[in-house]
Structure 1
Amino acid sequence: MKKFVLQKDEPLKRPEDYSIAYHELLNERQLEAVFHGNGPALVVAGAGTGKTRTLVHRVARLVESGVKPSEILLLTFTRRAAKEMLNRASNILDERCKQVQGGTFHFYCSMLLHRYADAIGYPTNFTIIDTSDSLEVIQFVRTQLNLHKKKKRFPNKNTLLKIISTGKNKNLDTRIVLQEDYPQFLEQEDKILEVADAYEAYKEKNFVMDFDDLLINTRDLLRKNDDIRIKVALGNRHVMVDEFQDTNKLQADLTELFSSVHGNIMAVGDDAQSIYSFRGADHQNILEFPERFEGTKLIKLEENYRSTPQILEVANQLLKQANFKFEKQLHSNNERGDLPALVQSSSEHDQSRFITQLVLQLREQETDLNDIAVLFRNGRDSFDLEVELNRKNIPFVKYGGQKFTEAAHIKDVLAHVRVLVNPMDTIAWNRVLMLLDGIGPKTAQDLFEWIRLAKNPYQLDLSDTTSQSYIDQLKELSKLLVSIKENDHSVPKVIELITDYYKVFCKKRYDDYPKRIKDLEAFVNVSESFSSLSKMLEELALDPITATAVDTEQKTKEEAPLILSTIHSAKGLEWKHVFIIQCLDGIIPSAYSVEDEKQLDEELRLLYVAVTRAEKMLYFSYPVLAQSAYGDYFTQPSRFLKDMNEDLVEEWRLVEENNPQNLPEGNQKALGE
């Protein structure tokens, strides 16, 4: 018998033994992550520290070291992110990297469930329903249970789906979800549970799964079938999860199950950028990773390649205030820059004037508009700025938050303004009248026929064309419209009167009415800048505050637009100049968070995310005076900025151009017309 001696494979261990010059391409900590061997590892990657670069090179290194690509699982939060990473890894090494299993948790779970469908009692050809399909099913079961006819308001289909999904993703009892997010529906808990049960029964009967089911059913499949779990985990020699701070409880459980044989799990993320708890993300997942995976190697990426040292010092000062965190200190070898600016304005409108004027100066200095971003906590925080940008003909695109003039409740208020300006506006009257209980298209049309011939079209309670049952409601509407027409009110006063009247309808029509009422209050403030109702309607019609990239490109030919964005929508992006507006207590942090230490921490992380988007220059701004439904009041700057001394930020004062004698000492910005 012949013998053939198999030589022992010697793994390539040192960076210099590989074809790729990893030691030239990566810093020391990145190299440590890329060359981490077996066992669990947590890479805490601070903002701008090359997280994606590290993951891409680790994929290439594993493949080059002889790991079969099909035995590497890369989980990301979008399929596009996984595809881009694997393409980059292929460009570094070769096409083998494209054979790596890459995708989202939902994509990978769907693949497993189709493969093992019989183990959970589903046919292999079960279908997945998207959010719009889920809403249709919810509405169907809601109607089947006659809940659409309840005398008390019952949650609409969107709210019901949010309640059900939040409970699943956060592993919370429905009553807890109602207590925390929808206390107005607590007394209807039994009926809401009835809808949830009927929704689940419908899906099981029709062999369909929604997005949440993909995660839940995969977790249950692997927990209840040890042979399947071992088979799946055996094929995952190395598991990597990107943005681990954004995982929910289900995804953290799945991560453990997917890596339960080899134990080679690497999670990459930044606890300081965990800002999506409203979507079910659990900040504790990344903090508790070392406890969940015994023997975890903790690797911190702290060298930032994006921002100036001055911006990073502000970011580090913010992180010091967090209660629940991994300790880290961002640093950079980038060229030093100017201190971030702390800009105090007398009003929100002056804040808008400052930003538009400085943006125009930056453009004159050859900074492209799309290298500048204005970030804010809520979509409504930029309404006044949007008006001012339109006036100055500065193209912009807005991401995140609800578009101002597209919002139904803003349209409702504007409809009242339109009938005051033009009593023959049929479309506006239709919208105004159909807010009233019981009035449909036919009654609205009859009323409009009367309006066309009436001596005073606003004296609707004198109409003889409609049922007496509507008279009390029509009297209220008439009282409002006649009062406005007979008095010479300012534009903001008119908007305030209309919004006060409209709030009753807002509460009846929308489950999220508290947020919408805040929008209405913001609209009163926005209206301050208009001289007349007709002028406001004209400007909002000709330059609606809904500019899109297409609109701005058509208006300015090839000039890319300025970026307006909520902070949540800005995560992962970067710009040379970043303005963070409305840095007020009650906005950031949100007034809803100040009593809860964990929520307050998330608000702090939100500001940290905004700060670390800036490359060259950062501006915090806030108005000293603000308006509410109860009048003007003095504001308080964000508590997160109180420890920012003169070594960290430089105060800027805004002064009017025609008052040079009031120029203060230090850095100042003169506001023109």
Structure 2
Amino acid sequence: YKINYRHELNASQLKAVTTINGPLLVIAGAGSGKTRIITYRTAYMLESGIAARDILLLTFTRKAAAEMTGRVQELLPDVNSGSIFGGTFHAFSNYILRKHAAMLNLAPNFSIIDTEDSKDTIDLIKTELKLNSKETAFPKKARIQEIISSSRNRNMTIEAVIESDFTGLEEYIGEIKLIAAGYERYKKICNLMDYDDLMDVLRDSLKGNAMFRQKLQHDYKYIMVDEYQDTNVTQREIVYLLADHHKNVMVVGDDAQSIYSFRGANYENILRFPQQYPDCGIVKIEENYRSNQRILDFTNDIIHHARVGYKKKLYSSIRHENMPLVRKFYDQQTEAEYIVTEILNLRERGVELNQVAVLVRAFWHARFLEAELNRRNIPYVAVGGLAFIERRHVKDMISYLRLLQNPYDAVSWHRVLKLIPGIGSVTSRKIVEKINKPGGMDEIAAGNKKHVDDLVGLFSALRSANRTNISVAAKVEIMRDYYSPILKSLESDYQIRLLDIAALIELAGRYDTIDRFLSDFTLDPPSKRFANKNTPLIDEGEDKPMTISTIHSAKGLEWYAVFVPHVLDGLIPSSKAMGNLEELEEERRLFYVACSRAKEQLILTMPSFVSTYNGFLSYPSRFLIEIDKSKFRFEV
């Protein structure tokens, strides 16, 4: 072997890396070098003679996959590791379903719609079923989308989902089922797939088509899954079906960091892996390379009180005097002033701003803090707010481009037609019905005399952008030139929004086909690079900004110093979780994720009281009260 694995890895990492055949569960604690394990294990397989094309690596972000495969290439520059498939579950499914479309009787040019498009489609169905005019208590499109998606992610009926999570909507079960059926029909007609379809169609094809299943089992003989605690029921089944023949499957995860149940992640998957594969090996990685031992003593104690899970105790060779600090203040304003003063003190001591984060359970917990940072001119980025792909003008542009890919995409037609002054839902529906019929254009022109010029403008821009001899970036530029005057008439800050579209053109320049650009953009939107709400491409100037992030968005990241404000019972854990044991346990894991992001300094703060819509909150978090008092300093 070219790599000295014994020298590069600790004993438990080495065991995980060199166990290649058969099922393996790796429980990798926070900061224990999970990426390193997957990277070195891939290298070890290649050095053991396994072909790169036989390896499948499934992750939850494209960035993670790219980082791992990139590191393998650095470790083994002479070995061609390029044919490893490394990517997200959704990207894998998108690739496989298009590649084997003929075998599965699918149209290969389907459009992928994101969550916002799903909501808009559901709104169209509501209107068609005449349910939009119903009384105001009828659930909104976002709520219906959540119910439908939840029922699919968790393999539950719509009734069961409503009864378990959406009490109060039972009287609408009949209508919601009608909408769900209409939504499925609509996607088939328009050749659309949403995120859940990518998973469901792949799983159902693996289950129902033996030839397809055997082909994939033959193609991918070694499977690795990162962040296994974040998989949902469907993803677990996909992994099981892919590995069912050879059973060479390694899953890596940390049950203590399972915090995405609202997206359908199933905590049971990682707990039940040994039951699914009775002869599986289990390796626990407990040495932590991120935090000092005092922070680990504190975070170990948080998770020690969890009801279920794999028992582990993280340890570190990093010795340091900084004990976690818990501080109580009179009110939210003095709490915010203290945090900002401490951040400035850290900067005086040479800690750069981008090494500091404030992690909040919900964005409103940072209101006073944001005001104070602005008052003192401290640059920061807010992560977890409105992502780049969710901004209205970006969605408008993507809709134009989708029509170049799939002219039957009715969701996009509705969106772009309604940008024309005077065209509302009713007119756009009439136009969409005719648009792809023979002679439809003439009918549209005859029936829409007052909009004819605007429609001609739209159709000719689309025709011009659809030419085959121009680049993807040029297509985006043509549609931007058409859209700019519309944007100017809609938004007073249109110049700032045009910067977002310029960023979109820059992004498109990296692609050779519109299909690939749209697939990547929808499946793995560029959110982190575009985190600042005013400037799309952050100009970091002299001072790199500090971070305010929701805890959910901070998972996997680390900072020198971490502040967690508002540690009051009812905020952490959220009062919404109070009556439900499973949700309360997930809140504990969320608190654990927040505290385990800190390398050297962890500071938890709370005001004496916070007034919310359901009264005053003034007790410290129950998770804090459980922790052994010798594990932190308390100051008032």
Fold in common (TM above 0.5):
yes
Kept after mapping to 1: 8 A contact 2:301/2:628: no
Structure 1 counterpart of 2:119, from 128, 132, 135: 135
1:526-565 correspondence to structure 2 within 5 Å? 548=532, 557-565=541-549
Number of the residue aligned with 2:13: 30
1:616-627 correspondence to structure 2 within 5 Å? 616-627=600-611
| Residue 552 of structure 1: how far off its partner (Å) | 12
Kept after mapping to 1: 8 A contact 2:56/2:84: yes
Query: Is 1:46 the counterpart of 2:29 in the alignment?
Result: yes
Kept after mapping to 2: 8 A contact 1:553/1:561: no
| Residue 606 of structure 1: how far off its partner (Å) | 0.4
Query: Is 1:249 the counterpart of 2:233 in the alignment?
Result: yes
| Residue 207 of structure 1: how far off its partner (Å) | 3.0
Query: Is 1:67 the counterpart of 2:50 in the alignment?
Result: yes
Kept after mapping to 2: 8 A contact 1:380/1:401: no
Number of the residue aligned with 1:525: none
Q: Aligned in 2, Cα 1:165/1:583: closer, same or farther, shift over 3 Å?
A: same
Kept after mapping to 2: 8 A contact 1:309/1:337: no
Provide the C-alpha distance between the structure 1 equivalents of 2:222 and 2:614, rounded to a whole number of angstroms.
59
1:605-620 correspondence to structure 2 within 5 Å? 605-620=589-604
Higher-Rg structure is: 1
Query: Is 1:235 the counterpart of 2:223 in the alignment?
Result: no
Q: What CA deviation, in whole Å up to 9, does each residue of 1:86-121 have, x standing for no partner?
A: 111011013522211111111222233234434544
Aligned partner of residue 647 in structure 1, secondary structure: helix
Number of the residue aligned with 1:109: 93
1:576-655 correspondence to structure 2 within 5 Å? 576-628=560-612, 633=616, 635-653=618-636
Structure 1 spans left out of the alignment, 5+ residues = 1-17, 409-545, 654-673
Kept after mapping to 1: 8 A contact 2:90/2:195: yes
- Give, as a single letter, the amino acid of the residue that structure 2 aligns with 1:639: R
Provide the C-alpha distance between the structure 2 equivalents of 1:205 and 1:555, rounded to a whole number of angstroms.
44
Query: Is 1:80 the counterpart of 2:63 in the alignment?
Result: yes
Q: What CA deviation, in whole Å up to 9, does each residue of 1:465-488 have, x standing for no partner?
A: xxxxxxxxxxxxxxxxxxxxxxxx
Number of the residue aligned with 2:508: none
| Residue 61 of structure 1: how far off its partner (Å) | 0.8
Kept after mapping to 1: 8 A contact 2:555/2:593: yes
Q: What CA deviation, in whole Å up to 9, does each residue of 1:609-632 have, x standing for no partner?
A: 01110000111111123334587x
Provide the C-alpha distance between the structure 2 equivalents of 1:58 and 1:381, rounded to a whole number of angstroms.
41
| Residue 402 of structure 1: how far off its partner (Å) | 6.7
Structure-2-length-normalised TM-score = 0.74
Number of the residue aligned with 2:518: none
Number of the residue aligned with 2:436: none
Query: Is 1:222 the counterpart of 2:238 in the alignment?
Result: no
Kept after mapping to 2: 8 A contact 1:553/1:559: no
Query: Is 1:368 the counterpart of 2:352 in the alignment?
Result: yes
Number of the residue aligned with 2:362: 378
Q: Aligned in 2, Cα 1:634/1:39: closer, same or farther, shift over 3 Å?
A: closer
| Residue 547 of structure 1: how far off its partner (Å) | 9.8
Alpha-carbon RMSD across the aligned residues, in angstroms, is 2.4
Q: Aligned in 2, Cα 1:93/1:386: closer, same or farther, shift over 3 Å?
A: same
- Give, as a single letter, the amino acid of the residue that structure 2 aligns with 1:644: I
Provide the C-alpha distance between the structure 2 equivalents of 1:352 and 1:129, rounded to a whole number of angstroms.
40
Structure-1-length-normalised TM-score = 0.70
Q: How many residues align?
A: 496
1:430-449 correspondence to structure 2 within 5 Å? none
Aligned partner of residue 344 in structure 1, secondary structure: strand
Kept after mapping to 1: 8 A contact 2:20/2:45: no
1:185-224 correspondence to structure 2 within 5 Å? 185-224=169-208
Provide the C-alpha distance between the structure 2 equivalents of 1:349 and 1:400, rounded to a whole number of angstroms.
23
Runs of 4 or more consecutive aligned structure 1 residues displaced over 6 Å after TM superposition = 549-556
Aligned partner of residue 99 in structure 1, secondary structure: coil
Provide the C-alpha distance between the structure 2 equivalents of 1:266 and 1:131, rounded to a whole number of angstroms.
30
- Give, as a single letter, the amino acid of the residue that structure 1 aligns with 2:319: E
| Residue 190 of structure 1: how far off its partner (Å) | 0.8
- Give, as a single letter, the amino acid of the residue that structure 2 aligns with 1:587: L
Kept after mapping to 2: 8 A contact 1:553/1:560: no
Provide the C-alpha distance between the structure 1 equivalents of 2:564 and 2:17, rounded to a whole number of angstroms.
35
Kept after mapping to 2: 8 A contact 1:396/1:552: no
Kept after mapping to 1: 8 A contact 2:569/2:617: no
Number of the residue aligned with 1:316: 300
- Give, as a single letter, the amino acid of the residue that structure 2 aligns with 1:37: I
Provide the C-alpha distance between the structure 1 equivalents of 2:11 and 2:342, rounded to a whole number of angstroms.
40
Aligned partner of residue 147 in structure 1, secondary structure: coil
Provide the C-alpha distance between the structure 2 equivalents of 1:293 and 1:173, rounded to a whole number of angstroms.
28
Query: Is 1:161 the counterpart of 2:145 in the alignment?
Result: yes
Q: Which has the higher contact order (CA 8 A, sep 6+)?
A: 2
- Give, as a single letter, the amino acid of the residue that structure 1 aligns with 2:244: S
- Give, as a single letter, the amino acid of the residue that structure 2 aligns with 1:172: M
Q: What CA deviation, in whole Å up to 9, does each residue of 1:203-236 have, x standing for no partner?
A: 2233332221111111111111223212211222
Provide the C-alpha distance between the structure 1 equivalents of 2:196 and 2:609, rounded to a whole number of angstroms.
45
Aligned partner of residue 96 in structure 1, secondary structure: coil
Per mean C-alpha deviation after superposition, the further-off stretch among 591-600 and 265-274 is: 591-600
Provide the C-alpha distance between the structure 1 equivalents of 2:76 and 2:533, rounded to a whole number of angstroms.
37
Structure 2 spans left out of the alignment, 5+ residues = 393-529
Aligned partner of residue 397 in structure 1, secondary structure: strand
